[in-house]
Copies of this chain bind each other. A is one copy, B any other.
Amino acid sequence: MSGDREIVTGRKKASAFVPGHVTAFFSVHRREDPLKTGSRGAGITLSKGVTVGVEPAGETRISLDGEGTEVRPVERVLDAMGVTARVRIDAELPIGAGFGVSGAAALGTALAANRAAECEYTENELIRTAHAGEVEAGTGLGDVVAQARGGVPIRLEPGAPEHGVLDGIAETAPVEYASFGDLSTSDVISGGTDRLSKAGEEALSALRERPTLPQMLALGREFARDADLLVPEVATTIEDVNEAGGEAAMAMLGRTVVALGSGLTDAGYDATACQIYPGCATLLEDAADR
């Protein structure tokens, strides 16, 4: 990109890592206040994620995997914080395929911009800003709060800190995923969601009865069917994993299958291996001195 010389020097760079997040099932809860708007549901955060570098500059420019682009939730976060910056987003995960890359970009931007521009917001304030940016941009409802917690988050109540309530399944495991392309989150979550939300609420009740990883994936499979979100290649893959003795579910919302252990490889698929992410979204230590 040209224009590097315009950057205001003498201010800090900072960067943050935010884990990917795959939702197994969810229900939609819209309120007037974006901080109270969100989803209930459950999912898995991944050791693969998104790294966001922020350097304050006279004018905001955003790159995603090296290409200049617009990322609405990121722009909303910067606007809310009163920061203009060069933002570099590097995603280890497919975009638009149900991995929460937009939420990760928003949260990573908030964390890194806060440090780089010395805004002195607290973690909860930054999560709130990123959640509101994502909700207002229409790109997601529950990824940001899940990514801020890490592990296997259960969204008990929708919304950002002060409103939302989280718990988690107390487990960790290796996981695999295979992705067959994108689905538009905003098309689904801006449309009629009554049927989807009913299925999501039922799945959440059942998970609270038995909060385990295999149960979450089984409920995710039921949810995808009941909410009529299954796409053919995903349905076939999930069946193949099940037949090979594994546990898998569709990532909401993407043409993506996530499986425990080596479930996809065992069923003969070309899959990417990672882990359930044991931590939470975080600033990167070395960034202070770059």
Contacts and interface: CB of A to CB of B under 8 A. Distances in A.
Given A278-B285, A280-B280, A211 B170 contact: no
- How many copies of this chain does one complex carry? 2
A122 B167 contact: yes
A70 interface: no
Nearest to A17: B278
B279 A170 contact: no
Contacts of A124: 167-168
A151 interface: yes
Interface string A101-138: 00000000001001100001111111000000000000
Interface in A121-173: 121-126, 150-151, 154, 161, 167-173
A212 to B, nearest CB: 6
Contacts of A169: 122-123
A168 B285 CA distance: 16
A282 interface: yes
Contacts of A154: 122
Interface in A270-290: 275, 278-280, 282-285, 288
Interface string A28-70: 0000000000000000000000000000000000000000000
Interface of A: 111, 114-115, 120-126, 150-151, 154, 161, 167-174, 210-212, 275, 278-280, 282-285, 288
Given A122-B169, A171-B283, 6 more contacts: A121-B211, A122-B167, A150-B279, A161-B167, A172-B283, A279-B280
